[in-house]
């Protein structure tokens, strides 16, 4: 046995274990509003943060210590002061920033909660259904995907299709399929007030959240329907259909893609946004690939297999994405050149 190789692996294992444990404390800090309280504030000692937050001193001390040791906070050891650097606050406290990452910490415990069900399914078949992940999964997805969609969709992603933008500005009917709690619907409705945006999702909790948010945002050009994508009404049709992080999750991807084609007007465009992945495992042997396969095992694949579905998994790659779209009847399939670490963008039509 190569002891050096073993020690390197032990280091790698403990680094991952540390990350997993620290993320639990990040989830607590997020829930108690600690990052928002510390954002933009001057460095201060424990007594100050206890007074400012009203939190229990012993808990706060341990949480601040964890986050300082992990490098989330800065600790001035000479004066015992804790602070949150602005650069970290953008990722942890500012949900309007495209760099906000903290929603992942809400999603991870929901993924861990599925471990017994996934282990059972790995032995016996089946899977863990979407609804069994609970509300933190729905909110965690919205908060993890939301910052990119809210900020980049209309500023960076759609401008790669200027003809589509011109139609949206003129006023067309748009469907966002698998809309979750409505991030993309709201972003499109705000940027293109002349267009009408309908969000469809099979999950009742997601639609309930989306409708609540629609009410508080007072947008007159949005609506939400709880229905499976295969049943979206064909009349009146849509000029633009979007899916964000949806197709690989589906029980029956081909019938859904076929339905999307049927509800699109003849000149219409479908924008399919899916996790970035190569076509083969050999292309995905890096940390982003590990995250994609892990998310897939603990969520994407299992919630499809729970209903006897295709279980495509999140790392299904552009070749299969194109094959599926062509099998559903689409004639045109192009990957759009948009720089993004998480998503691949496909323009589909015909
Ligand atoms: C990973 S989430 C993405 C949500 C949202 N698009 C986003 O990016 O935040 C996938 C969504 O697809 C929905 N979904 C799954 N199967 C569906 C189906 N057959 N019809 C409609 N929605 C479906 C789920 O309920 C879930 O909200």
Q: Kind and range of the H or E element at 310?
A: none
The answer to whether residue 258 is domain-embedded is: yes
pLDDT at 309: 97
Last residue of a domain, one of 74, 94, 114: 94
pLDDT at 55 over 90: yes
Q: Please report the atom of ligand 1 found closest to the CA of residue 206.
A: 27
Q: Is the CB of 202 under 6 A from ligand 1?
A: yes
Find the DSSP H helices in the chain. Answer: 3-31, 34-38, 46-53, 57-69, 86-92, 103-113, 115-124, 135-152, 162-170, 183-191, 204-217, 253-263, 287-295, 301-305, 317-327
In a domain, 32, yes or no: yes
**Does 29 share its domain with 170?**
no
Beta-sheet pairing, 173-177 with 196-201: parallel
Domain edge (last residue) among 65, 94, 123: 94
Q: Are 331 and 276 in a shared domain?
A: yes
Distance from residue 281's CA to the centre of ligand 1 (Å): 25
Q: What is the structure's pLDDT at 350?
A: 94
pLDDT given for residue 341 in this prediction: 87
Task: Evaluate whether 93 touches 39 at the Cβ level (below 8 Å).
Answer: yes
The string of pLDDT tens digits covering residues 97-120 is: 889 999 999 999 999 999 999 999
Same domain, 319 and 284: yes
Residues 141 and 284 in one domain: yes
Full DSSP string of 123-146? HHS----GGGG-HHHHHHHHHHHH
Name the band, by pLDDT with cuts 50, 70 and 90, for residue 297.
Answer: very high
What are the beta bridge partners of residue 230?
none
Asked if residue 140 and residue 28 are part of one domain, the reply reads no
Q: How far is the CA of 203 from the centre of ligand 1 (A)?
A: 7
The closest-lying atom of ligand 1 relative to the alpha carbon of residue 273 is 8
The boundaries of the domain holding residue 232 are 104-349
pLDDT, tens only, 221-243: 999 999 999 999 989 999 999 99
Which 3 state secondary structure label does DSSP give 333?
strand
Q: d(Cα 92, Cα 106) in Å, to the nearest integer?
A: 12
- Per-residue pLDDT averaged across 49-77, rounded? 98
> Are 158 and 41 within one domain?
no
What are the φ/ψ torsions at residue 180 (nearest 5 degrees)?
60, -135
Structurally, how many domains does the chain consist of? 2
* Residue 304 token pair: 């499809």
Report the nearest atom of ligand 1 relative to the CA of 299: 1
For residue 231, the model assigns a pLDDT of 95
Q: Are 260 and 278 in contact (CB under 8 A)?
A: no
Give the pLDDT score at 96.
86
Nearest CA among 161, 176, 290 for reference residue 240: 176
Is the pLDDT confidence value at 294 over 90? yes
Q: Which residues contact 327 (CB under 8 A, 6 or more apart)?
A: 254, 257
> Where residue 305 sits, what CATH number does that domain have?
3.40.50.150
CA distances from 317 to 280, 322, 337 (A): 8, 9, 15
- Whether the per-residue pLDDT at 330 is higher than 90: the answer is yes
Q: Is the CB of 306 under 6 A from ligand 1?
A: no
| Same-domain status, 50 and 111 | no
Instruction: Look at residue 99 and tell me if it is in a domain.
Output: no
pLDDT digits (tens, 9 = 90+) for 132-185: 999 999 999 999 999 989 989 999 999 999 999 999 999 999 999 999 999 999
Indicate whether 108 belongs to any domain. yes
Q: Is the CB of 201 under 6 A from ligand 1?
A: yes
Instruction: Evaluate whether residue 322 is within a structural domain.
Output: yes
Q: How far is CA 168 from CA 185, 188, 197, 266, 301, in A?
A: 13, 9, 10, 16, 34
Atom of ligand 1 nearest to the CA of 176: 6
Out of 148, 157, 201, mutate this one to test ligand 1's pocket (max ligand atoms within 8 Å of CB): namely: 201
Domain boundary among 94, 119, 138: 94
Radius of gyration of the chain (CA): 22
């Amino acid at each position: 046995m190569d002891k050096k190789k073993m020690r390197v692996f032990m280091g790698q294992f403990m680094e991952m274990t540390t990350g997993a444990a620290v993320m639990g404390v990040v989830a607590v800090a997020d829930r108690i509003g600690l990052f928002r309280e510390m954002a933009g504030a001057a460095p201060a000692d424990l007594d100050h943060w206890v007074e400012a937050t009203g939190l229990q001193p012993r808990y706060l001390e341990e949480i601040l210590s964890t986050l300082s040791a992990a490098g989330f906070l800065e600790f001035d050891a000479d004066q015992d002061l804790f602070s949150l650097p602005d650069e970290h606050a953008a990722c942890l406290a500012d949900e309007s920033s495209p760099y906000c990452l903290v929603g992942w910490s809400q999603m991870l415990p929901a993924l861990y909660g599925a471990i017994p069900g996934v282990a059972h399914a790995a032995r016996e078949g089946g899977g863990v259904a979407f609804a069994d992940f609970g509300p933190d999964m729905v909110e965690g997805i919205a908060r993890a995907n939301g910052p990119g969609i809210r900020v980049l969709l209309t500023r960076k992603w759609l401008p790669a299709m200027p003809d589509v933008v011109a139609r949206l500005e003129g006023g067309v009917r748009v469907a966002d399929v698998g809309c979750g709690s409505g991030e993309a619907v709201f972003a499109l409705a705000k940027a293109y007030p002349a267009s009408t945006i309908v969000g469809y999702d099979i999950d009742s909790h997601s639609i309930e959240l989306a409708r609540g948010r629609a009410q508080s945002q007072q947008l007159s050009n949005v609506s939400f329907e709880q229905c499976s994508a295969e049943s979206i009404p064909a009349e009146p049709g849509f000029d633009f259909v979007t899916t964000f992080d949806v197709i690989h999750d589906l029980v029956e991807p081909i019938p859904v893609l076929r339905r999307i084609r049927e509800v699109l007007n003849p000149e219409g465009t479908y924008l399919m946004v899916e996790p970035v992945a190569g076509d083969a495992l050999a292309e995905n042997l890096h940390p982003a690939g590990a995250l994609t396969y892990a998310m897939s095992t603990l969520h994407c694949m299992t919630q499809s297999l729970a209903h006897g579905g295709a279980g495509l998994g999140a790392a299904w790659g552009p070749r299969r994405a194109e094959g599926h779209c062509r099998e559903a009847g689409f004639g045109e399939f192009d990957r759009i050149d948009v720089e993004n670490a998480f998503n691949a963008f496909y323009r589909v039509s015909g």
